[in-house]
Amino acid sequence: MPSNAAIPAAAYWMEATLLGTIATTLAVVCVAAVGLGMLNGRLDIRRGVTVIAGCFVLFGSTSIAAGLRSLTDPSDGVLELAATPPPIPSSPELPPPPSQARDPYAGAALHF
């Protein structure tokens, strides 16, 4: 029997493989090919929307799975963590703008 740590490690490896650079590259190529097919009139808009929605589901699968897990197990703490936004840092005090002397050339092009 596999150890308890082997299955989560395999799941994380699979997630990193499916959502890594290779998957991003393939998604970009697929979206470009579908867009080119739509521009040529060979594909309908429904197929293009399906490909775009599939890319959103593929790359958002981690968040979707975490949301579904939190619905079944509210003690997981995923929603509480996502519900509290990080504190907004206060803006630094800016020094007053320097005083500007009168510019003798401002509007020189308007005089005839």
Q: What's the whole-model pTM score? A: 0.48
Q: 81 in a domain, yes or no?
A: no
In a domain, 89, yes or no: no
How confident is the prediction along the chain (112 residues), in pLDDT tens digits per residue?
556 778 888 888 887 887 788 888 888 999 999 999 999 999 999 999 999 999 888 888 878 888 888 787 766 555 555 566 678 888 888 888 777 777 767 666 665 5
pLDDT at 2: 55
User: Given this model, what pLDDT does residue 12 score?
Assistant: 83
pLDDT at 110: 61
> Does the residue 66 lie in any domain?
yes
Please check whether residue 63 lies inside any domain of the structure.
yes
Task: Write down the residue that tokens 């005839």 correspond to.
Answer: 112
Q: Does the residue 24 lie in any domain?
A: yes
Examine residue 35 and state whether it is found in any structural domain, yes or no: yes
Domains of the chain: total = 1
Q: Please enumerate in sequence order all residues whose Cβ is within 8 A of that of 19, keeping only pairs 6 or more positions apart, or say none.
A: 58, 59, 61, 62
Residue 23 domain boundaries: 14-72
